[in-house]
Chains A and B, each alone.
Chain A
Amino acid sequence: MSANAKTFNPYLPQLAAVVERVDETRDVFTLRLRLHDAQARAAYRFQPGQFNMLYLWGVGEVAISIVSDPDDLDLIDHTIRAVGRVTRGLQRLKPGDKLGLRGPFGRGWPLEAAQGRHLLLITGGLGCAPTTSMIHYALQRRASYGRVTVCHGVKHPDDLIYTDRIQTWCAAPDTQVMLTADKGTPEWRGRVGLVTQTLEDIDPIMFKGMAMMCGPEPMMVSVAEDLLKRGMALTDIYLSMERNMQCAVGHCGHCQFGGKFICKDGPVFPYAQLRALLAVKGF
């Protein structure tokens, strides 16, 4: 009798089914999934900022952030951009189609530390799924947090997703949403410019709160350094990182960032832990 019969296999996906696919833009979509096994469904718990490995039959696995509410014990939502073999295949799935899911993995947003604080949520480009989960989480529990300011930058107005949901964010009490596009169009009603420029127009009281962000690394570094200049404490700045991930449990080595594994030590990190290495190319 070997121990492995007794041991949980972290590599083995569980069967899940597509309940709904929401097409957000031409290449961004949300898959609402339900685990097939009722026991697995009941046992599944996650925190905003954590991710799952989704397996497309015969093609492979991909790491995807979870965007649904952790109190929704039935459906697990993933917003995905079709960029590679797996994600383009996932985009073709229909309700009832089966796929594999394993997770959740990694460390999510600092929910405890954020209680009662003002929240500044900053995203750039399409990588907004991890912060979206935090925005939804906070707005669903509005009384637990101070003011909420969302700064969301896209390259082009067409890249904006969740437009319906953004409307509801704008309507939430004590919540400000600043949308900006690098280049505007005649119909664009948001700002034009980089997301870093939105910081100039934020109530300075927000810099006493916590910042949580995701997006391209140069943008996050630029925003983080700007926030420090504006008086935010280094320990109050968090970011969600991305790297090639294959195993999700710190075994395959691809997602290393210096001494950190993005998959198990992150993907959410205090900026202080990554600051030095983010300044260097090649890690």
Chain B
Amino acid sequence: MPQPSLLARADFDSLIRALVARGYRVLGPRQRSGAIVFDEVSGAADLPAGFISVQEPGSYRLEDSGNGRYFDYVHGPESLKRFLFAPQETLWTVSAGGEVSFKEALPDLRPLAVIGARACDLAGVSVQDRTFLAGEHSNYTDPYYASRRENVFIVAVNCTRSAATCFCASMNTGPRARPGYDLALTELDEAFLVEAGSEQGEALLADLPLKPARDVDELAATQAIAAAADSQTRRLDTTDIQALLFNNLEHPRWDDVAERCLSCANCTMVCPTCFCHSESDVMSLDGTASEHHREWSSCFTLQHGYIHGAQIRPQIRHRYRQWLTHKLAAWIEQFGASGCVGCGRCITWCPTGIDLIEEVNAIRATRIDTPSPSGRGEGEGV
């Protein structure tokens, strides 16, 4: 284990400069329209100093933190997802100038550095790796995802605050970043504790004006991260979650939540792990070429469950149930891990403030448990 170092707050620019010098396009947190999003940063002055986010179900407000810290905001609607799994992209193009031929359209490979990824975001990447990279859980590598994955440098930030909607501690994903980062920072009063998590991260340290960290610095970082975990009031009880959800598919709570759910798909857009996407073709105006596109899709759309003239999930209760049973239960069968990393974004960014933890708890509290081996759903009307 390399020893942690200290980067003075006044020297934060040197980190951005070092990344730029190595050819990275550098993104970091910035304040935009009342929320924190990732965008290009050229210096520490671009960072959202002095903000905290007050997050509640269906509510996100930035407020003055009363100090100058850069990373007290915890997180905004964006995870790392869009940097690896593009919201919209061209998979291939085909031309028809007498002869049809297919041509790959792989993404621009300019390396990207992202400053400010949280533990939940890293956990989201490791969950998406199971979908998009060939291995135990996937037969094929998605070359578009893989090429971005290889070209991203992640500067993680260990959370020393939690939002009210955070529950990463109960999902065992944070608030300290698990491996997967190149560098991890912990923000202290006047400095950042810096730890390298990869060879590239280690190499970058050589470019920074670092001082060795003292025991007292490491202790302060550990205590601040532990305090962030302790401050989390939400926790998701995942005990027996697969049987709980799949044995309660006719629980009245699904009707109850369907009354509140707008089927707007916000939860799936902000989720770091949701991977559904749809494909479409866009022909050029002169009809000589066509592009095959894909873009993020959602199980909350009617398009998602369409099959030659029929709709698999016509009601919102079907679609919310599809999402929750997949996220928390079916995902484990598919990928050997939960699809939930405990970031709480689906709670914050739900326009009607639906809290998946409350939904699970409600089902658990009044579970019916009707497994259906041959006990077939009678009266299952649309």
A residues near B, CB below 8 A?
Answer: 2-4, 7-15, 55, 57-61, 81, 83-84, 98-100, 221, 225, 228, 242-244, 246-247, 249-254, 256, 258-261, 264, 275-277, 279-283
Give A46 Cβ to nearest chain B Cβ, in Å.
Answer: 15
Give the interface centre of A4, A55, A59 by most chain B CB atoms within 10 Å: A4
From DSSP, what is the main secondary structure of chain A's interface residues? loop
Contact flags (1/0) for B85-123 with A, using CB distance below 8 Å? Answer: 000000110101001111010100100000000000000
Nearest chain B residue, comparing its CB with the CB of A228: B374
Which residues on B sit within 8 Å (CB–CB) of A14?
102
Contact of A249 among B140, B299, B307, B315 (CB under 8 A): B140
Of A60, A275, A283, which is within 8 A of B280 by CB?
Answer: A60
A260: chain B residues at CB < 8 Å are: 333
A174 to chain B, nearest CB (A): 32
B249 within 8 A of A: yes
> For the complex, what is the distance from the CA of A15 to the CA of B94, rounded to whole Å?
10
Indicate whether B141 reaches chain A with its CB closer than 8 angstroms.
yes
Q: Are A12 and B102 in contact (CB under 8 A)?
A: yes
Q: Are B374 and A225 in contact (CB under 8 A)?
A: yes
A256:B278 contact, CB within 8 angstroms:
no
Give B36-75 as 1s and 0s: 1 = Cβ < 8 Å from A's Cβ atoms. 0000000000000000000000000000000000000000
Complex CA–CA separation, A83 to B310 (angstroms): 11
- In the complex, the answer to whether A261 meets B275 with C-beta atoms within 8 Å is no
Check B279 against A57 for contact (C-beta < 8 Å): no
Tell me the interface secondary structure of chain B in the complex: mixed
Chain A residues, CB < 8 A from B109: 2
- A128 → chain B closest CB, angstroms: 15
A253 to B325, CA, bound (A): 14
Q: Which residues of B contact A59 (CB under 8 A)?
A: 281
Neighbouring A residues of B101 by C-beta, 8 Å: 15
Interface string of B261-290 (1 = CB under 8 A from A): 000000000000001111111010001001
Q: Pick from A2, A100, A253, A275: contact of B374, CB below 8 A.
A: A275
The answer to whether B279 and A61 touch across the interface, beta carbons within 8 angstroms, is yes
Contact yes or no, B276 A250, CB < 8 A: no
The answer on a CB contact under 8 Å between B281 and A12 is: no
- A7/B143 in contact, CB under 8 A: yes
Contacts of A259 in B (CB 8 A): 329-334
Report the Cα distance A254→B306, complex, angstroms.
9
Q: Is B322 an interface residue (CB 8 A)?
A: yes
Closest 7 CB pairs of A and B: A259-B333, A253-B276, A282-B318, A4-B143, A279-B376, A259-B330, A58-B290
Q: How far is the CB of A217 from chain B (nearest CB, A)?
A: 10
Measured CA separation A9–B104 after assembly (Å): 8
Tell me which residues from 129 to 157 in chain B have a Cβ below 8 Å from any Cβ of chain A: 131-132, 138-144, 146-147, 150-151
Q: In the complex, what residue of chain A is closest to B303 when comparing beta carbons? A: A244
Q: Is the C-beta of B377 less than 8 angstroms from some C-beta in chain A?
A: yes
Q: Hey, what's the 0/1 contact readout for B308-321 against A, CB within 8 Å counting as 1?
A: 11001101011001
A100 contact from B94, B141, B146, B334, Cβ within 8 A = B94
Taking the closest CB of chain A, its distance from the CB of B104, in whole angstroms, is 6
- If A253-B277, A279-B377, A282-B321 touch, whether A11 touches B382 (CB-CB below 8 Å) is no
Chain A residue, CB-CB nearest to B103: A12
B2 close to A (CB within 8 Å): no
Chain B residues with CB under 8 Å of A7's CB are 141, 143, 146
Whether A253 and B299, one on each chain, are in contact in the complex, defined by CB atoms closer than 8 angstroms, is yes
Tell me the minimal C-beta distance from A38 to chain B in angstroms.
16
The distance in angstroms between the C-alpha atoms of A133 and B92, with both chains bound, is 31
CB of B304 closer than 8 Å to a CB of A: yes
Can you report 24 A-B residue pairs in the complex whose CB atoms are below 8 A from each other? Answer: A2-B106, A2-B150, A10-B140, A11-B143, A12-B92, A13-B94, A57-B290, A58-B94, A60-B281, A225-B374, A242-B307, A246-B277, A249-B139, A249-B140, A250-B131, A251-B138, A253-B297, A254-B297, A275-B373, A279-B375, A281-B380, A281-B382, A282-B313, A283-B322
State whether B278 touches A252 (Cβ < 8 A).
yes
Asked whether B250 lies within 8 Å of A12 as measured between CB atoms, the reply is no
